Amino acid sequence: MHLEEYTGVREDTDVPGRLRVAIVFVDLAGFTSLTDAMGDQAAASVLERFGHIVRTSIGQWDGRIVKQIGDSFMVVFPAARPAVTWALEIERLVAREPQFAAVRSSVHCGPVLYREGDYVGTSVNVAARLVAEAERHQVLVTAAVRNEAGSLPNAEFVPLGRRRLRGLVDEVELFAAVESDAGIAALRWIDPVCSMELTVDQVAARLSLGGKEHVFCSQQCLQRFIAAPERYVPNAERA
């Protein structure tokens, strides 16, 4: 940053540490449910696997992990294109993991302030709020990212309209970045208790309730469900 300011590449030298980056937040959907159902040790094992995937895949896209808070990682990239590409790759890599939680991501780009190893500013706040809006297996991006990234090989941006994010005054135009050959998640079942995603051969137990079949990764999750089905399925008591 000092070199850029000295050579005139950056014009906003009146504000030290200001630069433009693409910010990605990525976390595991349902991680709280997983921890509650399976215990701290099992959850820590899942988190260790997830962290390994994040750290080993990020280097080739010129990204840098800023921080990790629980199951959430904040990562910055020099531009929107590699940020979206990496978010899609993380989705693909995590979806291949056996008996694992689903991932969700958000990408936004804009000006930030670099302070003591961290990045602060409205752009960071938008990206952080956006990941909470994402569904499992979803990569949510803003219009700024869509415009800067342009066209990506084997990927497209699906418009989702404008939404109001918590804590932000203005609505934000959103898109879902989707790989053209995506489809791994569609082949999986979701344990309603721990939120683990299961292939057919990983299903340990099944239960029919109200005409709908539920699958479980273990007898432990099945017993938790039987003890309080209304906790995991809306209106289960009336089913």
Please list, in sequence order, all residues whose beta carbon lies within 8 angstroms of the beta carbon of residue 11, skipping any fewer than 6 positions away.
none
Amino acid code (one letter) for 201: D
**Do 205 and 222 touch, CB atoms closer than 8 A?**
yes
pLDDT of residue 236: 44
Cα R_g (the chain), whole angstroms: 20
Residue 164 DSSP one-character state: P
Distance CA 126, CA 135 (A): 16
Q: Quote the tokens at residue 206.
A: 């099944």
Q: Quote the tokens at residue 11.
A: 């014009």
Distance CA 194, CA 80 (A): 33
Sorted by where each begins, the domain ranges of the chain are 15-184, 189-238
Helix (H) / strand (E) element for 139: namely strand 139-142
CATH class belonging to 15-184: alpha beta
Q: Nearest-CA neighbor of 181 among 50, 86, 88?
A: 88
* Chain mean position to CA 218: 25
- pLDDT per position in the chain (239 positions), as tens? 444 444 344 445 566 678 899 999 999 998 999 999 889 999 999 999 999 999 999 988 889 999 999 999 999 999 999 999 999 999 999 988 888 999 999 999 999 998 888 899 999 999 999 999 999 999 999 999 999 998 888 889 999 999 888 877 788 899 999 987 655 445 678 999 998 888 888 899 999 888 889 999 999 999 999 999 988 876 443 33
Distance CA 227, CA 2 (A): 61
Helix then strand then coil, in percent of the chain rounded to 5, is 40, 30, 30
0.75 exceeded by pTM: yes
